[in-house]
Structure 1
Amino acid sequence: MFDQFRTRAEGVSAEVHRFSTPAEALDFLVTLLRAEGVADQPGQGAVVADSPFLNAIDRQQLDAIAGLHFEVTRQRAADAKVGISQVDWALADTGTLVQDATAIDKRLVSTLPTIHVAVIATSGLLPDMPAWLAEVQPQNTGYIAMITGPSRTADIERVLTIGVHGPERLVIVFIDQLGGTN
């Protein structure tokens, strides 16, 4: 199922990575943030939405990155280069991420920065929408976001533009030994 998800997600320009442990994923994220030049400068910051992933790691490595903020505001997210959030499910047949984005910080970090890094427990990978509908409890979700690749739009002449209405880059990080969703 993971290979199917990867194929579908990469087919719409997402980047897909998989790690065994939260610590391995953290190392990847730190490397990514450094490679992207995250710094305490306008347009170079990063914001992180609260999530179970943050509780599963030693945050010292993230705390050491200047310009990375755990307190998410609308302005800080709009000015950020990178936004990191944990999503709840992934649909293998379409390469789509599904996030209970009732918490405003999740919406801000997944839609306003140029790069969205979506962290997901591999256990949240489902075959398709019917499987997701059987699992989700609508009374416990107030705002569902479905994310399939980076933001894209096309005009009447079919000229495709990436990143007009949201992130221009989507990096998906699956973690095998990460339990729970937020």
Structure 2
Amino acid sequence: MYEQFKLRAEGVGAEVHRFRTRGDALGFILTFLQQEGTADAPQSYAVWANGPFLTGIDTAQLSGKVPGLSFNVSRQTAADSRIGISEAGWALTDTGSLVADQTAVEQRLAATLPVIHITLIGTDRILPDKTAVFSRITPETSRYIAFITGPSRTADIERVLTIGVHGPKRLVIVFIDELDGVAE
């Protein structure tokens, strides 16, 4: 299902990567942050919302490796950030969409305010379609569900397609095999 998801997601403008371990994925993310110019200056910050991926990782040490990387996500830090990192609960092969429980405001802020959104997900979280995901979520446990399909886009301005008006201009999806079974 991964290959089908990747094909659909790339078809709507997302970038899709897959790593075997958290360490490999973390190395990719740190390199990506450095290549994108993450720095301790407004519009160059990166914010990382807490989630299962970070379990057991020394976030203070990571912040020291990448100036401008913060794990304290607020409206202001997210708005001043170039990159936001969050986690998704599921990926849908039929549309190339991510499904994220964004009940925690930090997840929403990291996913919507920065110019670039990196989302992390376990490879085992790929589902065939919306029917499959709707059998796993309930209003009692999931109060704010977001469906993310590619970078933000609109064509409501004189019918001209514009990328990044209502959210990130770039969506980078990082699948991690080792996260299998971690998130639910």
With the length of structure 2 as denominator, give the TM-score of the two structures: 0.94
| Partner Cα distance (1:132, 1:116) in 2 | 22
Aligned position for 2:149: 148
- The structural deviation recorded for 1:54 is 0.7
Contact (CA 8 Å) 1:45, 1:68: kept in 2 or not? yes
**Structure 2 residue matching 1:84: 3-state secondary structure:** strand
CA apart distance, 1:61? 3.8
> Which contiguous aligned blocks of 4+ residues in structure 1 show a shift greater than 6 angstroms?
none
| Amino acid aligned to 1:88 | G
Aligned to 2:105: 104
Instruction: Return the letter of the residue paired with 2:4.
Output: Q
More divergent stretch after superposition (53-62 vs 120-129): 53-62
Structure 1 unmatched runs, 5+: none
For the 8 Å contact 1:82–1:113, the answer to whether it is kept is yes
Q: CA contact under 8 A between 2:63 and 2:70: conserved in structure 1? A: no
Render the CA deviation track for 1:100-146: whole Å, top value 9, x for unaligned. 00000000000000000000011111011111111223310110011
Mapped partners of 1:82, 1:43: distance in 2: 9
Could you tell me which residue of structure 1 aligns to residue 182 of structure 2? 180
Q: Distance in 2 between matches of 1:77 and 1:45?
A: 8
Amino acid of the structure 2 residue aligned with 1:149: G
Partner of 1:52 in structure 2? Answer: 52
In structure 2, do the counterparts of structure 1 residues 156 and 115 end up closer, same or farther at CA, with 3 Å as the change threshold?
closer
Q: TM-score, normalised by structure 1?
A: 0.95
Would the alpha carbon gap of residues 73 and 133 (structure 1) be closer, same or farther in structure 2, given more than 3 Å must change?
same
Q: Identity across aligned pairs (percent)?
A: 58
Trace 1:17-166 onto structure 2 (pairs within 5 A): 17-57=17-57, 59=59, 60-155=61-156, 157-166=158-167
* Gap runs ≥5 in structure 2: none
Q: Distance in 2 between matches of 1:62 and 1:11?
A: 34
**Which AA in structure 1 matches 2:40?**
D
Aligned AA (1:180): V
Change (3 A) 1:156 1:48: closer
